[in-house]
Each structure stands twice: as structure tokens, then as C-alpha cells.
């Protein structure tokens, strides 16, 4: 393959795909790319609720990897879709998603797989790997998060110290909120409103704030949140608010506290020093608690990464491709 080191692999298309019945009336979309006999790897998307895209496929050598991607419950091509206000999110929790991943592994006949993802995806990866360490061969994570209450508080309140104008507008979007601690829950309630105008306004306000936090990161194209198609944007915000209002149903600090369960699993953590959405301290603390993890800090990069982040992820996945 005519490819320079550090370059992404050419685009590839799925050779297998389907809808997995995970119970509670939910069907989860999945697809497989690359070599059917290759090393299994699972891409765990962010958000929560962003859905899997095509770009993550290009991080994997298609001759060496069997790459599995899926849309987490109620987003992307999974059904029912969270953009429909009648869709019940009671059966969409971290525990449900971990169970879905394990069901998908069994459905595809995979013994162990490498896990790759970033942002919210890293929280879900860690939750799965700590529950099923015997099913995980390696882990590669960018933009590390563990969805602690302290991390949620930073993203939806603390970062307002850097973007006070944008945070003031974000706060004004839910005047009924009892205080900063009720902000995310107030948005979650609004995304459940039967009034489409209330849902649309809450979605727009949430996306404007998220885009503000990422506004110092140079990136071509539309804003990462507001620029999404309307249906996907509605689902993303509704699912995000649903998860963060409940601290992802995790005990505070659980994923770092239990990182010892990952002993023996090689991990690569890649994090931008100027990640305002998820400050570096979380990746630093996780690397100290996980015996087999190595942390690469990318100076000058933020939450969305960039060329140096991509090169670090590619290098890790290339290194693990031939590891037995």
C-alpha cells in the first residue's frame, strides 16, 4: 500500500452490516470493514449520541484489521431514534450500552477485540473494559473522559470562566434551573418537552455552548455541534443531556478507581494539552492508575485533536495490528 507513515488509510466500505436486537424494543446498527480474518477492533463513538461516522475506518490498516463500528442506542441508524420525542430513553444507560457491546461481540463471534474511541467513547470503553477485561486485547483512546461529576461541572459551568459571554447565554436558556448544579438537568427536561419549539431552542442553545468551548480549535467545515443535520443534532443533545444529568449512572471516580482491573491490557492515551472540553488532568490520573497505559500529550492540540493527534493514534493502532 502506497502510504506515508502517519497518513490515514484510504476510505473503505463495509462488507457486512446489520441491525442487532438488543431488547427493550431497540435495534442497534453495526457494520464491519477491512479484512474479515483480521484482528478484531471496535470503534466506540462519542457524544454520547453522535453516531459512528466513516472517518474512524481510516485509522485502521484494512489488510490487518477487522473493524467493527456501531451506532449506540437511539442515534445514527439505530432505532428508535432519540430525535422522536416519543422514543423512551429509560433503557439507554451506560450499563445498557456495555451490554450491547458484549452482545455484539457474541453476535459476530469475536473472542477478544481492540477498543478505539475518544471523548464520551473513552468513558464507554473504560466501563466495558473494566467489566469485561478478558474480552479486551488493547485500548487506544484520544480525548480521555470518565464522565465524573467534576468533569461535567467543568464542561457546563467551569469553562464559563473562559467563555463568560457564551456561558451567560447558555445559562439564560434555562431560567427555571435551580442553580449551576441543575443546569444540565434543566436542559434534559427541555429536550423531553412535547413542544417542538422548546426542544429546538434547547438544542440550539446547548450546541452554541458546546461550539463555544471548542471555538479556539482550528478546524475546517461547519461547527462540530451546530453544523450537524437537524435530526442528528436533536438526538445528540437529548442523549447528552440525559447521560450527563445522571453522571452516566457511574459512581464518582469509578472508572479511575477501578482502573486496576485493566492490568495486563496495553493502553495508549492521547490527549491535547489545551483540551478545554476535557482537561488533561483526567488522562493524567487515569494513566497513573492503569498499570499498562502510556500517555501521549499533544502540545497545541485540543479536544478535537489534529494532525499530531491523528499520527499518535495511527502509530498506536499500527503497533497493535500485529500483536497477538
Q: Which residues are tagged catalytic?
A: 119, 275, 303
- CA dihedral (200, 202, 207, 209) positive or negative: positive
Please say whether the beta carbons of 202 and 191 come within 8 A: yes
Contacts of 284 (CB under 8 A, 6+ apart): 295
Q: Which phi and psi angles does 272 have, rounded to 5°?
A: -75, 135
SS (H, E, C) 210-252: HHHHCCCCCCCCCCCCCCCCHHHHHHHHHHHHHHHCCHHHCCC
The secondary structure element, H or E, covering residue 73 is none
Q: What share of the chain is helix, strand, coil (3-state, %, to 5)?
A: 40, 20, 40
- The whole-angstrom separation of Cα 272 and Cα 299 is 6
- The whole-angstrom separation of Cα 234 and Cα 78 is 14
- 274 C-beta neighbours (distance < 10 Å), count: 14
Chain-centroid distance of CA 67 in Å reads 17
Please say whether the beta carbons of 38 and 63 come within 8 A: yes
Amino acid at each position: 500500500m502506497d502510504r506515508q507513515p502517519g497518513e490515514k488509510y484510504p476510505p473503505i466500505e463495509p462488507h457486512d452490516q446489520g441491525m442487532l436486537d438488543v431488547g427493550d424494543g431497540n435495534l442497534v446498527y453495526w457494520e464491519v470493514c477491512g479484512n474479515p480474518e483480521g484482528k478484531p477492533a471496535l470503534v466506540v463513538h462519542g457524544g454520547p449520541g453522535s453516531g459512528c461516522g466513516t472517518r474512524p475506518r481510516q485509522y485502521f490498516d484494512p489488510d490487518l484489521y477487522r473493524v467493527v463500528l456501531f451506532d449506540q442506542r437511539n442515534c445514527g441508524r439505530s432505532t428508535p431514534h432519540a430525535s422522536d420525542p416519543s422514543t423512551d430513553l429509560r433503557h439507554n444507560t451506560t450499563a445498557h450500552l456495555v451490554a450491547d457491546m458484549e452482545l455484539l461481540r457474541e453476535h459476530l463471534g469475536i473472542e477478544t477485540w481492540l477498543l478505539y474511541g475518544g471523548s464520551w467513547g473513552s468513558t464507554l470503553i473504560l466501563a466495558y473494559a473494566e467489566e469485561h477485561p478478558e474480552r479486551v486485547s488493547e485500548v487506544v483512546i484520544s480525548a480521555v473522559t470518565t464522565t465524573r461529576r467534576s468533569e461535567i461541572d467543568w464542561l457546563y459551568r467551569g469553562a464559563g470562566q473562559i467563555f463568560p459571554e457564551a456561558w451567560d447565554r447558555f445559562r439564560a436558556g434555562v431560567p427555571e434551573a435551580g442553580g449551576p448544579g441543575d443546569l444540565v438537568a434543566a436542559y434534559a427536561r427541555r429536550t423531553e418537552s412535547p413542544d417542538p419549539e422548546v426542544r429546538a431552542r434547547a438544542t440550539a442553545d446547548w450546541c452554541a455552548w458546546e461550539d463555544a468551548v471548542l471555538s479556539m480549535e482550528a478546524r475546517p467545515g461547519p461547527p462540530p455541534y451546530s453544523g450537524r443535520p437537524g435530526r442528528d443534532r436533536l438526538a445528540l443533545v437529548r442523549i447528552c443531556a440525559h447521560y450527563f444529568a445522571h453522571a452516566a449512572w457511574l459512581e464518582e471516580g469509578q472508572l479511575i478507581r477501578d482502573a486496576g482491573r485493566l492490568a495486563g491490557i496495553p493502553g495508549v492515551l492521547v490527549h491535547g494539552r489545551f483540551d478545554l472540553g476535557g482537561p488533561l488532568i483526567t488522562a493524567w490520573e487515569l494513566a497513573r492508575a492503569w498499570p499498562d497505559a502510556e500517555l501521549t500529550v499533544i502540545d497545541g492540540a485540543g479536544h478535537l485533536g489534529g494532525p499530531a493527534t491523528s499520527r499518535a493514534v495511527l502509530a498506536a493502532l499500527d503497533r497493535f495490528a500485529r500483536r497477538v
